[in-house]
Structure 1
Amino acid sequence: MIYPSGRAVWAAAAGAVPAFLVALALPSFWYLGLLWSCLLLAFLAVDAAAGRGRASLNASIDAPQQVGVGGEFGSKLAARHAGPRAAEARVGHDVRLAPVDGSGGALPTGGGGSLDLRFQALRRGVASFDRLWVRWRGPFGLVWNQVVLPVESKVAVLPDVSSARGEAITLLQHAALAEGHAQRRAGQGREFDALKDYQPGMGRRMIDWKRSARHGKLLAREFRIEENNNIVLAIDSGRLMCEPVDGVPKVDRAVTAALLSAFIALKGGDMVSLFGFDARPRVSSGAVRGPASFAMIQKRAAEIDYSSEETNFTLALTTLAARLDRRSLVIIFTDFVDSISAELMLRTVGRLTERHLVLFMMMKDTELEGLADLPPRSGEDVARAVVAGGLLRERQVVIGRLRLLGAHVIEADHNRLGPALVERYLQFKQEDLL
Structure 2
Amino acid sequence: MIYPSGRAVWAAAAGAVPAFLVALALPSFWYLGLLWSCLLLAFLAVDAAAGRGRASLNASIDAPQQVGVGGEFSVQIAARHSGRPRAAEARVGHDARLAPVDGSGGTLRPTAGGGSLDLRFQALRRGVASFDRLWVRWRGPFGLVWNQVVLPVESKVAVLPDVSSARGEAITLLQHAALAEGHAQRRAGQGREFDALKDYQPGMGRRMIDWKRSARHGKLLAREFRIEENNNVVLAIDSGRLMCEPVDGVPKVDRAVTAALLSAFIALKGGDMVSLFGFDARPRVSSGAVRGSASFAMIQKRAAEIDYSSEETNFTLALTTLSARLDRRSLVIIFTDFVGPISAELMLRTVGRLTERHLVLFMLMKDTELEGLADLPPRSGEDVARAVVAGGLLRERQVVIGRLRLLGAHVIEANHNRLGPALVERYLQFKQEDLL
Structure-1-length-normalised TM-score: 0.97
**Cα distance, 1:274 vs structure 2:** 0.5
Worse-matched range after superposition: 210-219 or 106-115:
106-115
The 1:61–1:386 alpha-carbon spacing in structure 2 relative to 1, beyond 3 Å, is same
Residue correspondence of structure 1 range 101-180 to structure 2 within 5 A: 101-107=102-108, 108=110, 112-176=114-178
Aligned-partner Cα distance in 1 for 2:67–2:56: 33
**Secondary structure in 2 aligned to 1:375?**
coil
The 1:294–1:308 alpha-carbon spacing in structure 2 relative to 1, beyond 3 Å, is same
Check the 8 A contact 2:404/2:411 in 1, yes or no.
Answer: yes
Structure-2-length-normalised TM-score: 0.96
**Secondary structure in 1 aligned to 2:183?**
helix
**Secondary structure in 2 aligned to 1:304?**
coil
Check the 8 A contact 2:275/2:289 in 1, yes or no.
Answer: yes
Aligned-partner Cα distance in 1 for 2:433–2:13: 85
**Secondary structure in 2 aligned to 1:256?**
helix
The 1:177–1:69 alpha-carbon spacing in structure 2 relative to 1, beyond 3 Å, is closer
**Cα distance, 1:165 vs structure 2:** 2.4
Check the 8 A contact 2:182/2:266 in 1, yes or no.
Answer: no
The 1:233–1:226 alpha-carbon spacing in structure 2 relative to 1, beyond 3 Å, is same
**Secondary structure in 1 aligned to 2:28?**
helix
What does the per-residue CA deviation read over 1:279-333, in whole Å, with 9 as the maximum and x for residues that have no partner? Answer: 1111111110000000000100000000011111111111111111111100000
Check the 8 A contact 1:60/1:151 in 2, yes or no.
Answer: yes
The total of aligned residue pairs comes to 434
What does the per-residue CA deviation read over 1:374-394, in whole Å, with 9 as the maximum and x for residues that have no partner? Answer: 000000000000000000000
**Secondary structure in 2 aligned to 1:86?**
strand
The 1:354–1:184 alpha-carbon spacing in structure 2 relative to 1, beyond 3 Å, is closer
**Cα distance, 1:203 vs structure 2:** 2.8
**Cα distance, 1:103 vs structure 2:** 1.4
Aligned-partner Cα distance in 1 for 2:417–2:249: 12
**Cα distance, 1:179 vs structure 2:** 12
**Cα distance, 1:338 vs structure 2:** 1.2
The 1:98–1:184 alpha-carbon spacing in structure 2 relative to 1, beyond 3 Å, is closer
**Cα distance, 1:343 vs structure 2:** 0.5
**Cα distance, 1:82 vs structure 2:** 2.9
Point out where structure 2 has 5 or more consecutive residues left out of the alignment: none
What does the per-residue CA deviation read over 1:117-142, in whole Å, with 9 as the maximum and x for residues that have no partner? Answer: 11111110111111111000011111
Aligned-partner Cα distance in 2 for 1:61–1:181: 42
**Secondary structure in 2 aligned to 1:202?**
coil
Aligned-partner Cα distance in 2 for 1:112–1:87: 10
Q: CA RMSD in A?
A: 1.8
Check the 8 A contact 2:80/2:113 in 1, yes or no.
Answer: yes
What does the per-residue CA deviation read over 1:26-58, in whole Å, with 9 as the maximum and x for residues that have no partner? Answer: 111111111111111111111111123796111
Check the 8 A contact 2:195/2:225 in 1, yes or no.
Answer: yes
**Cα distance, 1:110 vs structure 2:** 7.2
**Cα distance, 1:86 vs structure 2:** 2.9
Check the 8 A contact 1:208/1:219 in 2, yes or no.
Answer: yes
Aligned-partner Cα distance in 1 for 2:77–2:46: 30
Q: Which residue of 2 aligns with 1:24?
A: 24
**Cα distance, 1:204 vs structure 2:** 2.8
Q: Which residue of 1 aligns with 2:46?
A: 46
Check the 8 A contact 1:172/1:426 in 2, yes or no.
Answer: no
Aligned-partner Cα distance in 2 for 1:106–1:168: 46
Worse-matched range after superposition: 104-113 or 57-66:
104-113
Aligned-partner Cα distance in 2 for 1:243–1:54: 51
Point out where structure 1 has 5 or more consecutive residues left out of the alignment: none
**Cα distance, 1:173 vs structure 2:** 2.1
Aligned-partner Cα distance in 2 for 1:234–1:278: 11
The 1:177–1:297 alpha-carbon spacing in structure 2 relative to 1, beyond 3 Å, is closer
Check the 8 A contact 2:129/2:158 in 1, yes or no.
Answer: yes
What does the per-residue CA deviation read over 1:159-211, in whole Å, with 9 as the maximum and x for residues that have no partner? Answer: 01221322222222232359999966532210112212223443332111221
The 1:89–1:8 alpha-carbon spacing in structure 2 relative to 1, beyond 3 Å, is same
